[in-house]
Chain A
Amino acid sequence: MGYSPLYFLEQTFKNIVRGKGMDLVSVLVLMSCLLVSGSFYAVNENINYNLESLGALNKILAYIDEEMTDEQIRQIKEEVEGLENVKSVDLISKEQALEDEKNRLGEEYADIFDWLEEGENPYRASLEVEYLSTDGVEELEKALGEIDGVESVQSRANTAQKVSELKKAVSKVFLAMMALLFLVSLFIIVTTVKLALHQRSKEISVMRYVGASALFISIPFLLEGLLIGGLAAVIAFAVQHWIYGAVAAQVGKEFFGIISILPADELSNALLIGFLVIGLATGLVGSIFAVIKRITD
């Protein structure tokens, strides 16, 4: 067999040169589609990440009055352990709270606590109360609040619920946009490849009448679709990386200490693989749609 990969690639490049910029348009549209999907993914991952750092969903934090001695705190802990619907209670000391916060902010911001005098600590001790059932959370919160020495109660369930509602709303918008953009991308790729087929109709008719296989005729066009998809993926990845860095820096500055941002490196593998898979698949499916009728009629 004399089928050479180089021959097919050459044909594909001819298609692109003759494509009057349609291939470029296809790449750009598919790229925007991938960018929207990638941003969705990045936002979603960051929400999850922040949820995690808020703590598990089935926990309540009870902050202890600053005046309390260690002994008193131990008594409060025992009292809490005796409450209904309580699974376990963890004591987070002032020192540990400070340490956790330092760790959370990381090396970069280590000097932020330098103004503290030796032994000074702005944090309060707290009890992390894990409960058994969500149904009795309100009663439990109330009971905790009534205990002497408990200054305030923070239910993370509430926050978590709000965040996950937000997540759902954001998801709907993104998913709708993604679906629409994918349809548009697919349509444009089909149109682009159909144009290439049209410009080669004489060659295709001769190939068909001398008995070229359907695959032989299709390969340059399938490659064109794959190339559009691959290129869109790589460019989208580069752009996404850049945007993410810029947005992360901005958010980090404005919501410092409130929202933590995942480092770009943690997302990049999944993003690159995802973009390549989606991009190549869209390109291939689009070109198959375009080619199928021309070679089976």
Chain B
Amino acid sequence: MIEFKNVTKMYDRHTPALENVSLKIEDGEFVFIVGESGAGKTTLTKLLLRQTRASKGDIVVDGKRLKRLGLFTLPRYRRKIGFVFQDFRLFDQMTVYENIAFAMRAVGAGRKRIRRSIPLLLKIVDLETKAERFPSELSGGEQQRVALARALANNPKYIIADEPTGNIDEKHARELIALLSKISEMGKTVIVVTHEKALVEDFGKRVITISRGHLVADRHISQEKE
């Protein structure tokens, strides 16, 4: 479970990027986080990854207070999270297979496990035939799915994606959200940051709206609305 308790993040002294935000995300939930540009969405994901620390308040994940994490406990915490970068952050000089293997090796996975897991991961994201391709030989949507497969590689409990649809067209964006939805049904907690309202409306999930650093709405959109 993820819990924000009155979290404020100040990058400088004047304007908070997030102010007094409190929210709870239960295990297995699928949550959209929406808001205008500069609202504080990325800040929220950075706080969750402990890429940056809260200025005030507490963030508690599975009973652990993130501000308490140190040199040894922070990496272990991060293994619970699969993060999908908006810019994919794939390595151009590595194949799809090697890109995923890189993330697995980094947390100590052995050769055997890597060889067994990657085909399964590629099957989930529907890229079984592209293992030996380089990222430059893939479409934007395919690259995004490689990034997702890599995020899944170490079997994290949480999947966080910051603007995963930012660089792909609408059809592929829908497919990607559907894929994330499928992944959440596999028992993972999925948090998707986006500013594409139309997309969110169609999926009938929980939507948290942030505006100018404040949490302004937290509701479930029912799918029947369509």
- A interface residues with partner B (beta carbon < 8 Å): 1-3, 7, 202-203, 205-214, 216-217, 295-296
Q: Is the CB of A7 within 8 A of B105?
A: yes
Does A2 contact B110, Cβ atoms closer than 8 Å? yes
**A-B residue pair count with CB separations less than 8 angstroms:** 62
Would you call the interface of chain A mostly helix, strand, loop, or mixed? helix
Q: What are the residues of chain B within 8 A of A202 when measuring CB–CB?
A: 89, 91
Nearest first, the 3 closest Cβ-Cβ pairs linking A and B are A211-B79, A2-B110, A211-B78
* A198 smallest CB distance to B (angstroms): 16
Would you call B79 and A210 a contact (CB within 8 A)? yes
Question: Once bound together, how far apart are the Cα atoms of A146 and B176, in whole Å?
Answer: 110
Complex Cα distance, B150 from A206, in Å, reads 10
A210 lies within 8 A of B89 (CB): no
B91 and A2 contact, CB distance less than 8 A? no
- List the B residue with the shortest CB-CB distance to A217: B106
User: Known contacts A210-B78, A211-B77: does B110 contact A1 (CB below 8 Å)?
Assistant: yes
Query: Does B75 contact A212, Cβ atoms closer than 8 Å?
Result: yes
Contacts A203-B91, A214-B71, A216-B106; A209 near B111 (Cβ below 8 A):
no
Note all chain A residues with C-beta closer than 8 A to B51.
Answer: 209
CB within 8 A of B106: which of A206, A295, A296? A206
Contact A210 B103 (CB under 8 A): yes
What's the Cα separation between A216 and B76 when bound, in Å?
13
Decide: A207 near B106, CB < 8 A? Known: A214-B71, A214-B75.
Answer: yes
Nearest CB on B from A50, distance (A):
53
Our pick among B102, B113, B114, B154 for the contact of A211 (Cβ within 8 Å) is: B154
Once bound together, how far apart are the Cα atoms of A212 and B106, in whole Å? 5
Given A2-B108, A208-B75, 9 other A-B contacts at CB below 8 A? Answer: A2-B113, A203-B91, A206-B89, A210-B83, A210-B103, A210-B154, A211-B77, A212-B75, A213-B75
Can you list 19 residue pairs at the A/B interface with Cβ under 8 Å? A1-B110, A2-B105, A2-B109, A2-B110, A2-B113, A203-B91, A203-B102, A207-B103, A209-B49, A211-B76, A211-B77, A211-B79, A211-B106, A211-B107, A211-B154, A212-B106, A214-B71, A216-B108, A296-B71
| Most central of A208, A211, A217, A296 by chain B CB within 10 Å | A211
In the assembly, what is the distance between CA of A207 and CA of B91, in Å? 12
Instruction: Say yes or no: A213-B89 contact (C-beta < 8 A), given A2-B110, A2-B111, A206-B102.
Output: no
Closest A residue to B52 using CB positions: A297
B interface residues, tally (CB under 8 Å) = 29
- Complex Cα–Cα for A211 and B72 (A): 10
List B residues at the A interface (Cβ < 8 Å): 49, 51, 71-72, 75-83, 89, 91, 102-103, 105-111, 113-114, 150, 153-154
* Residue contact A212 to B107, C-beta cutoff 8 Å: yes
What distance in Å separates the Cβ of B16 from its nearest Cβ neighbour in chain A?
22
| Distance between A256 CB and nearest chain B CB, rounded to angstroms | 62
| Chain A hits for B114, CB < 8 A | 2
Q: How far is the CA of A210 from the CA of B82 in the complex (A)?
A: 7
The interface residues of chain B lying within 8 Å CB-to-CB of A206 are 89, 102-103, 106
Complex CA gap A221/B194 in Å reads 37
Distance to closest chain B CB from A11 (angstroms): 11
Q: Give CA–CA (A209, B106) in the complex, Å.
A: 10
Interface centre among A207, A209, A213, A295 (most CB of B within 10 A): A209
- Complex Cα gap A2–B51 (Å): 26
Within the complex, what minimum Cβ distance (angstroms) separates B202 from chain A?
A: 30
Chain B positions within 8 Å of A216 at CB level: 106, 108
Residue contact A205 to B89, C-beta cutoff 8 Å: yes
Considering the chains assembled together, what is the distance between the CA atoms of A3 and B109 in angstroms? Answer: 8
B79 to chain A, nearest CB (A): 4
Q: How far is the CB of B34 from chain A (nearest CB, A)?
A: 23
* Closest residue of A by beta carbon distance from B94: A203
A210 contacts B49, CB within 8 Å?
no
Q: Which of A7, A203, A211 contacts B75 (CB 8 A)?
A: A211
Contact B71 A209 (CB under 8 A): no
* CB <8 Å contact, A210 and B107: yes
- Distance between Cα atoms of A206 and B77 in the complex (Å): 15
* A77 CB to nearest B CB, Å: 75
Bound together, the chains give a CA A213 to CA B71 distance in angstroms of: 8
Q: Which A residues are in CB contact (< 8 Å) with B154?
A: 210-211
A207 smallest CB distance to B (angstroms):
4
Q: Which residues of B contact A3 (CB under 8 A)?
A: 108
